[in-house]
Structure 1
Amino acid sequence: MSEQSRDPTVFLTGFPGFLGSALLERLLERGDEPVVCLIQPQYRSQAETRAETLRQRLELPSDSIQLLEGDITEPDLECGDALEGLSSVHTCYHLAAVYDLAIDLGLAEAVNVRGTDHVLDAAETLDVERFQYVSTCYVSGRYDGVFTESHLEEGQSFNNYYEATKYRAEVLVQERMEAGLPATIYRPAIVVGDSETGETGKYDGPYYLLRLLLEQPRACSLTVSLPGSNDTELNVVPRDFVIDAIAHLSARDDTVGEVYQLCDPTPLTIPRFVDVLASAMDHRVCSVPTPKSVAGPLLGALERVGLPAEPATIDYFDHPTRYACPNTQRALAGTGIECPPFESYVDELVAFVRENPVIGSDAMV
């Protein structure tokens, strides 16, 4: 980080990622600056370009966004003496994580678990007044039932290493909270693009289904359905709802020590989700009943021939968990911030994918 004229007050990880960039803009809009963003060296050019775009759009001085190269997988965030120079920081937002359903255990452990532990250490070293942590609803794993903000350690199994390591990371955060760290935890469901513009940073999760259907003829597009999927809910939320909620809740003193699930309180079932996508795409979609033991290898075969498919997504076609957010609903009551129904913004998601076919699905690591 180069010499700056003002000392930063906010420390942010996860920039220039999709959620991190949107949250940074919101923090700057409300006057929470200067912000120092921990970035990986390989993303410096992208971070510099995005930071300059934000500065110009918001007409802010050059030191409003400060970039600090580091690595959350290393002790002291690999910042050396620079970390000690951030004593002016009073709030830490930790968003950096690897979101990839097919991630291997070693990388998931390094980034999601040890990385979070290292950021917690840094926050305690800096004696921050607030620690804002972005977790995920899927710390639930395959919990059989309704999972709320009061649930965490339930003896659950997990679909993949992403879920398992995000669970372990939140356990670390909650342990520090119990020891006195003034923290707030946010658990988004499956985050998709902006509800107004459809914009997204990468095509993962439900986008595999959307893009696979778009690759097929309008007259007849095929997908699979698993036994029991008729009752399975797919809980998706648009980016702007997540950012609106975090920005609002993080500014309140009464949210310290709380957990907020940022989910859709009335999500669609898998069959209904497919029907809504089909209508938005103007495709006739046929869901073929398929045993799970066949569906996974089938998606793997499609992936190998270059089609947009991810075998790991099949676990969400019979995911047993339903999500509720009573704490979030109480906290946001009267604010006008609520998750819009998927039907209200699906057209924007589909239009964005059609207009931007080359966006990838790789996680930032």
Structure 2
Amino acid sequence: MEKGYFFTGFPGFICNQLIREVWKKNQLQGEVFVLVLPNMFEKANQVKNEIITELGVNESAFTIVEGDITKKGLLQHVNEQEQLSKRVTHVFHLAAIYDLAVPRDIAYKVNVTGTNNVNEWVKNLPKVQRYTYFSTAYVVGVREGTLYETELIRPPRFKNYYEETKYEAEVLVEKLKKEVPITIIRPGIVKGHSHTGETIKFDGPYFIMNFLDRLKFLPIIPRMGKGEGFVNLVPIDYIIQATAYLSFFEQGAGKTYHLTDPTPYRTSELYEMIMKELLNKKPKGIIPLNLGKWLLSMKPMRKFLGVEKEALDYFTWKGRFDCTQAQNDLKDSGISCPDFKDGIRPMAKFYLQHKNNPNYQVTIL
């Protein structure tokens, strides 16, 4: 049976990279369907053309479907449902609000209501072989210690509404495992490609780069807090390759995977590596974290430094993600998470080339 791959989250960076990898893995066989908001059609069509030109596939094998995950039934044109029901065998749900500073109502509408609508849609696909859902390793909230792939435990609290709504969404997907073959992907904090440094926006670890770049005029640059927490950074290429493999891995149905770095660095180590690569300096002194949070509570300071205040919560968090299940199931694939320090040079180079391009910078509120 010919495969049909249905994606939400297009033309987003992770989604368009995953489409390329899924098609390559399947020898360019099968049809791709992407759900796109009507106001994103032009951009989606541009990225579609880039992909089909790059891979040399027929344009008829790539279909843009207009719709919205926050609407029941998803599709803007309901007459397309019959065609999709006959052809879709694999669903990849990536659409979500990823902003740490997102308000709860927006996050809930997209991440929870949207995922529930996708779940209901998937249940009515007669030929579905796998439903791959993109969650996040940070559904653990403020829980610390060793955190396992086999757990989905509501924490005492969450660091932000992004974490909370992704947890609520994963609960809904977990329940559906009884009815549909599902693979849940929990990435760590995604950074640029380990070889090229390419990324779509400067968030996560790039907030450190913004901070250092905008304070480079100072003779001495301190570190922010003691930096004892572990920050789990994973390059986009590892996430894409591992997801494409595990989504078709027969034993992957019903499993949840931490696509995280098995040997992450402490915040202090990351800060030092990034400063060395960007500025060829070492940090001196410490700004107490409480002072840092107070400074970032002021909008002009946040905008000047290019840092969301919510990012500081990850500097002191002491959780460690166990990714044994992912490593075991990937062992015959040749896919493993690269060491952060091996990708720091292309990461910094890409940042320096594009730091003044507003399309890469996150809007700081």
Calculate the TM-score normalised by the size of structure 2: 0.92
* Structure 1 pair 151–32 and aligned structure 2 pair: CA distance change class (3 A): farther
Cα displacement (A) at 1:223: 4.9
Q: How do 1:145-184 and structure 2 match up within 5 A?
A: 145-177=145-177, 179-184=178-183
Answer yes or no: is the 8 Å Cα contact 2:293–2:309 preserved in 1. yes
* Structure 1 pair 32–311 and aligned structure 2 pair: CA distance change class (3 A): farther
1:28 corresponds in structure 2 to 23
| Rounded Cα–Cα distance in structure 2 between residues aligned with 1:20 and 1:197 | 18
Answer yes or no: is the 8 Å Cα contact 1:8–1:86 preserved in 2. no
| Percent identity between the two aligned chains | 33
| Of 217-226 and 128-137, the range deviating more from structure 2 | 217-226
1:111 aligns with 2:106: no
| Of 333-342 and 90-99, the range deviating more from structure 2 | 333-342
Answer yes or no: is the 8 Å Cα contact 2:3–2:90 preserved in 1. no
* Structure 1 pair 226–95 and aligned structure 2 pair: CA distance change class (3 A): same
Q: Deviations over 1:266-315 (max 9, x none)?
A: 00001111111112113324365344432223124354553311111010
2:94 corresponds in structure 1 to 95
| Of 78-87 and 337-346, the range deviating more from structure 2 | 78-87
List, as ranges, runs of 4+ consecutive aligned residues in structure 1 with deviation greater than 4 Å: 302-305
Query: What letter matches 1:116 in structure 2?
Result: T
Query: What letter matches 2:188 in structure 1?
Result: A
1:277 aligns with 2:267: no
Q: Equivalent residue of 1:222, what SS? A: coil
| Rounded Cα–Cα distance in structure 2 between residues aligned with 1:118 and 1:361 | 31
Q: Deviations over 1:328-358 (max 9, x none)?
A: 1111113221111110001101100111121
Answer yes or no: is the 8 Å Cα contact 2:140–2:155 preserved in 1. no
Answer yes or no: is the 8 Å Cα contact 1:217–1:283 preserved in 2. no
* Structure 1 pair 105–223 and aligned structure 2 pair: CA distance change class (3 A): farther
1:137 aligns with 2:137: yes
Q: Deviations over 1:243-275 (max 9, x none)?
A: 010111112111100111000000000111111
Structure 1 unaligned segments of length 5 or more: list them: 1-6
* Structure 1 pair 362–72 and aligned structure 2 pair: CA distance change class (3 A): farther
| Rounded Cα–Cα distance in structure 2 between residues aligned with 1:83 and 1:315 | 43
| Rounded Cα–Cα distance in structure 1 between residues aligned with 2:337 and 2:323 | 11
Cα displacement (A) at 1:216: 2.6
| Rounded Cα–Cα distance in structure 1 between residues aligned with 2:216 and 2:287 | 21
* Structure 1 pair 257–175 and aligned structure 2 pair: CA distance change class (3 A): same
Answer yes or no: is the 8 Å Cα contact 1:219–1:284 preserved in 2. no
1:124 corresponds in structure 2 to 123
| Rounded Cα–Cα distance in structure 2 between residues aligned with 1:173 and 1:155 | 18
Structure 2 unaligned segments of length 5 or more: list them: none
Cα displacement (A) at 1:157: 1.6
Cα displacement (A) at 1:41: 1.6
Q: 1:235 aligns with which of 217, 232, 240?
A: 232
Q: Equivalent residue of 2:317, what SS? A: coil
Answer yes or no: is the 8 Å Cα contact 1:303–1:310 preserved in 2. no
Q: How do 1:13-52 and structure 2 match up within 5 A?
A: 13-29=8-24, 30=26, 31-52=28-49
| Rounded Cα–Cα distance in structure 1 between residues aligned with 2:273 and 2:223 | 16
Query: What letter matches 1:86 in structure 2?
Result: L
1:74 corresponds in structure 2 to 71
| Rounded Cα–Cα distance in structure 2 between residues aligned with 1:131 and 1:59 | 27
Query: What letter matches 2:276 in structure 1?
Result: S
1:265 corresponds in structure 2 to 262
Q: How do 1:245-264 and structure 2 match up within 5 A?
A: 245-264=242-261
| Of 41-50 and 197-206, the range deviating more from structure 2 | 41-50
Q: Equivalent residue of 1:349, what SS? A: helix
1:209 aligns with 2:204: no
Matched residues, number: 354
* Structure 1 pair 222–34 and aligned structure 2 pair: CA distance change class (3 A): same
Q: 2:62 aligns with which of 52, 65, 75?
A: 65
2:185 corresponds in structure 1 to 186
| Rounded Cα–Cα distance in structure 1 between residues aligned with 2:305 and 2:146 | 34
* Structure 1 pair 299–284 and aligned structure 2 pair: CA distance change class (3 A): farther
Q: Deviations over 1:135-167 (max 9, x none)?
A: 110011111211110121143421000000001
Query: What letter matches 2:139 in structure 1?
Result: V
Q: 1:324 aligns with which of 317, 322, 325?
A: 322
Answer yes or no: is the 8 Å Cα contact 1:218–1:282 preserved in 2. no
Cα displacement (A) at 1:8: 7.4
* Structure 1 pair 350–333 and aligned structure 2 pair: CA distance change class (3 A): same
* Structure 1 pair 221–256 and aligned structure 2 pair: CA distance change class (3 A): farther
Q: Equivalent residue of 1:68, what SS? A: strand
| Rounded Cα–Cα distance in structure 2 between residues aligned with 1:341 and 1:45 | 37
1:340 aligns with 2:335: no
